[in-house]
């Protein structure tokens, strides 16, 4: 299958990080075109393209923009969510490191459509190098007069600030990001009001993922109909998948939506490392349910098919596990992650994440009992749906899906623990 | 403006360069409070960790309550609340790295340095901790030392890397090692930066 290269057409050119090279390859043409259009037309075009948020939620981008109220007298802000922290995800990093001007041009287009004069790229703190490359590109754009006052002679002013996070997963949640950017702990806000209405400093704010923004120049140059002719009806265009784990060729791949998952593993990923058997796949970062190898036949990489299979496209953090993987250990690893990253605001999440990790931990370490399984059920039931942000829903996903898909591994641990306890005279 | 004093009674000052950087940063944001995170980074870079002087400096320069600065500094893991070694190793421990051998890296570091997580070697050169997903899953297992990612490691290659760092004592901030990419300690830039194969 031939995949269209919308986001990664030029990432293999070493000089693509330079403004001149970016422009020589057709860069900054889309924004010139867009600045001659009515902002509402731009939003309509993005709506028609079917582009959906690539950070994980998959919300239609144009629709999100449409929620921003006009003429409130307040400034409107655009925030580029580059807080890429979902385990298994490293796609936005590629864009920032290898084609940072594409990200800038995407921000320019969105800013024009929204009427935002101040944008911020919120980049996760650990991404020192991507942040450096993004800042360097922003500096070049200012130097050339492409950012600042009256960009491209349009009368439109635009400032972009590159801001680094400092190691908090929760800042990838859009209201957590806003809180963090305001100078606070990154603890999410209750919605509604949604950021489109009450966001940064109480002003209308749109938060878009880096990959989402980077798709805009192509869409605006080639038209919505070219974009939505690729992929499936509800999953248009291409998506970046960052593949990792027990595969021969880990890396970031841009594929047309609707691409068969097994083809992706066998072709792009190069098949299984050491030719071991495939055991399980996480398609979209650790917050989406794991799939067993026998569930993959017929599943395609798009929102509809993944959902039908009981999982999600998510962020595109594609983690492949082979037959040697201990699923109880893998589950514990992720529960530790969620326990560590809970922001501590809501009791069900703060306490629950800790307890889930503890229970899975004792099962893994041979101290579990069969009542622990129902205890996990009780605890997770009290977390999901009972927190301010979706972190609570996400943190129960590994334990629920790993146990559902691989019950024998959990039961085996519990049974062997029981045997050793019976053999122990203290019991 | 409230005067913030550190425990020895003086308003802390940092270098002129740090003060200038902060001023320039503050002007970029619609509200100065938004500069708290970069301000903490500036203080940390200069002082080595977020100590008493660091939080007082940020509170003073941004006119923020000290309690607020402490609250922010302690929420985010990348602000060190205790001294770290000249080279601080962060081993990614999350799933993709774990299934590709991260535990072997951690075990090797412990064995070589004979310290636990968040401890500093007696000579002040090394400290380490295990951290959550660093976004380098395609090049697992990996570590971050100061600002720089070192990827596709084995205990042996990590050992060689640590030998080299001890010998050469490089400055591992990206802003300083950039020109060194390709030949320097940051490894093979092409494979590191772009892991997807180039298709025509």
> Each residue of B13-70: pLDDT tens digit?
899 999 999 999 999 999 999 999 999 999 999 999 999 999 999 999 999 999 999 9
pLDDT value at A156 more than 90: yes
Plot region of B141 (φ>0 → left; ψ -120 to 50 → alpha; else → beta): beta
Interface test with A, best of B117, B132, B152, B184 (most A CBs within 10 A): B132
pLDDT mean across residues, chain B: 85
* Residues on chain B touching A84 (C-beta within 8 angstroms): 135
Q: Residue B130's beta-bridge partner residues?
A: B91
B183: pLDDT confidence band, cut at 50, 70 and 90? very low
Does A341 map to a domain? yes
Domain boundary among A204, A228, A252: A228
Does A5 map to a domain? no
Report the sign of the C-alpha dihedral through residues A408, A410, A414, A420, in that order: positive
The whole-model pTM stands at: 0.94
> What pLDDT digit, counting tens, does each position of B117-134 carry?
999 999 999 999 999 999
CA distance A145 to A133: 18
CA distance B37 to B183: 32
* Residues on chain B touching A161 (C-beta within 8 angstroms): 28-29
* Residues on chain B touching A159 (C-beta within 8 angstroms): 28
pLDDT value at A215 more than 60: yes
pLDDT at B6: 56
CA distance A352 to A338: 10
pLDDT at A419: 78
Same domain, A30 and A81: yes
Domains of chain B: 2-75 (1.10.10), 87-181 (3.40.30.10)
pLDDT at B12: 82
More confident residue, B72 or B11: B72
Q: How far is CA A317 from CA A97, A108, A320, in A?
A: 18, 27, 10
Number of domains in chain A: 3
> What pLDDT digit, counting tens, does each position of B163-182 carry?
989 998 888 877 665 433 33
Same domain, A143 and A52: yes
CA distance B142 to B100: 9
Q: Which of B31, B90, B194 is the closest to A11 by Cβ?
A: B194
* CB B197 within 8 Å of CB B170: no
Token pair of A197 as six digits = 């209405």
Q: How many of the other CB atoms lie within 10 Å of CB of A152?
A: 16
Q: Which of A90, A159, A341 is the closest to B135 by Cβ?
A: A90
> What pLDDT digit, counting tens, does each position of A320-363 carry?
999 999 999 999 999 999 999 999 999 999 999 999 999 999 99
CA distance A366 to A348: 26
pLDDT at A1: 74
More confident residue, A375 or A70: A375
Proportion of chain A above pLDDT 90, given as a percent: 95
Domain boundary among A228, A256, A276: A228
Q: Which of A128, A169, A330 is the closest to B132 by Cβ?
A: A169
Token pair of A281 as six digits = 């796949």
Q: Is B37 on the interface with A (CB under 8 A)?
A: yes
Interface test with A, best of B22, B135, B192 (most A CBs within 10 A): B135
Token pair of B170 as six digits = 């490089």
Q: Is B157 on the interface with A (CB under 8 A)?
A: no
Proportion of chain A above pLDDT 70, given as a percent: 98
* DSSP structure string for A211-229: HHHHHHHHHHHH-HHHHHT
- Largest separation between any pair of C-alpha atoms in chain A: 84
A293: pLDDT confidence band, cut at 50, 70 and 90? very high
What is the distance in angstroms between the Cα of B137 and the nearest Cα belonging to chain A? 6
CB spacing of B195 vs A252 below 8 angstroms: yes
A14: pLDDT confidence band, cut at 50, 70 and 90? confident
The residue segments making up the domain with residue A38 are 14-228
B188: pLDDT confidence band, cut at 50, 70 and 90? very low
Torsion of CA A124, A129, A135, A138, to 10 degrees: -110
Same domain, A254 and A338: no
Same domain, A256 and A117: no
pLDDT mean across residues, chain A: 95
CATH of the domain at A173: 3.40.50.11540
Interface pTM, i.e. ipTM: 0.94
More confident residue, A275 or A80: A80
pLDDT value at A258 more than 80: yes
The three state secondary structure string of chain B is CCCCCCCCCCCCCCCHHHHHHHHHHHCCCCCHHHHHHHHHHHHHHHHCCCCHHHHHHHHHHCCCCHHHHHHHHHHCCCCCCCCCCCEEEEEECCHHHHHCCHHHHHHHHHHHHCCCCCCECCCCCEEEEEECCCCCHHHCCCEEECCEEECCCCHHHHHHHHHHHHHHCCCCCHHHHHHHCCCCCCCCHHHHHCCCCCCC
Same domain, A58 and A84: yes
Residue spans of beta strands (DSSP E) within A195-353 = 205-209, 238-245, 251-256, 259-260, 278-282, 291-292, 300-301, 317-322
CB spacing of B100 vs A245 below 8 angstroms: yes
Same domain, A316 and A334: no
CA distance A357 to A218: 44
pLDDT at A278: 98
pLDDT at B172: 86
pLDDT at A2: 86
Please state whether the peptide bond connecting residue A110 to the residue before it is cis, i.e. omega within 30 degrees of 0. no
> What pLDDT digit, counting tens, does each position of A32-59 carry?
999 999 999 999 999 999 999 999 999 9
pLDDT at B8: 56
Same domain, A300 and A357: no
CB spacing of A183 vs B174 below 8 angstroms: no
Does A9 map to a domain? no
CATH of the domain at A334: 1.20.1440.230
Same domain, A89 and A75: yes
Does A19 map to a domain? yes
CATH of the domain at A250: 3.10.20.600
Same domain, A72 and A144: yes
pLDDT at B189: 39
Domain boundary among A228, A248, A275: A228
Of the candidates A205, A147, A138, A156, the one whose C-alpha atom is nearest the C-alpha of residue A37 is: A156
CA distance A149 to A145: 8
pLDDT at B177: 56
Does A366 map to a domain? yes
pLDDT value at A99 more than 60: yes
CA distance A32 to A23: 12
Element spanning A407, H or E: helix A407-422
- DSSP character for A268? I
Average pLDDT for A140-168: 97
Same domain, A357 and A253: no
Same domain, A107 and A224: yes
Same domain, A346 and A297: no
């Amino acid at each position: 299958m031939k995949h269209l290269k919308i986001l990664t057409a030029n990432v293999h050119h070493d000089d693509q990080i330079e403004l001149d090279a970016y422009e020589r390859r057709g860069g900054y043409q889309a924004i010139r075109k867009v600045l001659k259009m009515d902002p509402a037309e731009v939003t309509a075009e993005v709506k028609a393209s079917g582009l959906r948020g690539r950070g994980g939620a998959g919300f239609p981008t144009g629709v999100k923009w449409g929620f921003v109220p006009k003429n409130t007298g307040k400034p409107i802000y655009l925030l580029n969510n580059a807080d890429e922290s979902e385990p298994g995800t490293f796609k936005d990093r590629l864009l920032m490191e290898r084609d940072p001007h594409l990200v800038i041009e995407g921000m320019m287009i969105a800013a024009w459509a929204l009427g935002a004069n101040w944008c911020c790229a919120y980049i996760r703190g650990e991404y020192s190098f991507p942040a450096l490359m993004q800042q360097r590109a922003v500096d070049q754009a200012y130097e050339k007069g492409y950012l600042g006052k009256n960009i491209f002679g349009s009368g439109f002013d635009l400032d972009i600030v590159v801001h680094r996070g400092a190691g908090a997963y929760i800042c990838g949640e859009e209201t957590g990001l806003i809180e963090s950017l305001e100078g606070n702990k990154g603890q999410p806000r209750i919605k509604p009001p949604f950021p489109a209405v009450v966001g940064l400093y109480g002003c209308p704010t749109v938060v878009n993922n880096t990959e989402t923004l980077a798709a805009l120049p192509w869409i605006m140059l080639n038209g919505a109909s070219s974009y939505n002719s690729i992929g499936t009806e509800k999953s248009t265009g291409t998506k970046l998948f960052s593949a990792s784990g027990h595969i021969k060729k880990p890396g970031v791949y841009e594929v047309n939506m609707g691409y068969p998952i097994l083809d992706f593993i066998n072709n792009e990923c190069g098949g299984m490392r050491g030719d071991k058997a495939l055991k399980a796949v996480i398609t979209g970062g650790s917050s989406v349910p794991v799939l067993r190898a026998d569930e993959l036949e017929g599943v395609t990489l798009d929102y509809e098919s993944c959902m039908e299979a009981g999982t999600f496209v998510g962020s595109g953090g594609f983690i492949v596990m082979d037959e040697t993987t201990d699923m109880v250990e893998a589950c514990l690893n992720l529960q530790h992650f969620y326990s560590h990253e809970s922001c501590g605001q809501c009791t069900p999440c703060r306490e629950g994440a800790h307890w889930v990790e503890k229970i899975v931990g004792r099962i893994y370490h041979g101290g579990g009992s069969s009542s622990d399984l129902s205890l996990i059920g009780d605890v997770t039931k009290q977390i999901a749906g009972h927190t301010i942000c979706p972190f609570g829903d996400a943190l129960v996903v590994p334990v629920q899906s790993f146990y559902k898909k691989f019950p024998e591994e959990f039961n085996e641990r519990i049974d062997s623990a029981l045997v050793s306890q019976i053999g122990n005279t203290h019991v | 403006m409230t005067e913030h004093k550190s425990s020895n009674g003086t308003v802390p000052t940092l270098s002129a360069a740090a003060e200038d950087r902060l001023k320039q940063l503050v002007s970029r944001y619609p509200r100065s409070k938004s500069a708290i995170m970069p301000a903490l980074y500036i203080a940390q870079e200069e002082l080595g960790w977020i100590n008493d002087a660091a939080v007082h400096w940020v509170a003073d320069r941004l006119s923020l309550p000290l309690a607020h600065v402490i609250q922010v500094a302690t929420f985010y893991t990348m602000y060190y609340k205790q001294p770290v070694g000249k080279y601080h190793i962060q081993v990614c421990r999350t799933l993709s790295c774990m299934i590709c051998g991260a535990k072997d890296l951690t075990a090797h570091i412990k064995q070589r340095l004979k310290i636990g997580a968040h401890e500093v070697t007696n000579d002040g050169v090394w400290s380490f901790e295990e951290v959550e997903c660093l976004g380098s899953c395609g090049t697992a297992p990996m570590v971050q030392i100061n600002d720089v990612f070192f990827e596709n490691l084995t205990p042996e290659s990590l050992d060689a890397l640590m030998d080299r760092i001890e010998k050469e004592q490089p400055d591992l901030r990206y802003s300083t090692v950039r020109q060194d990419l390709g030949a320097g300690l940051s490894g093979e830039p092409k494979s590191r930066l772009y892991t997807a194969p180039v298709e025509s």
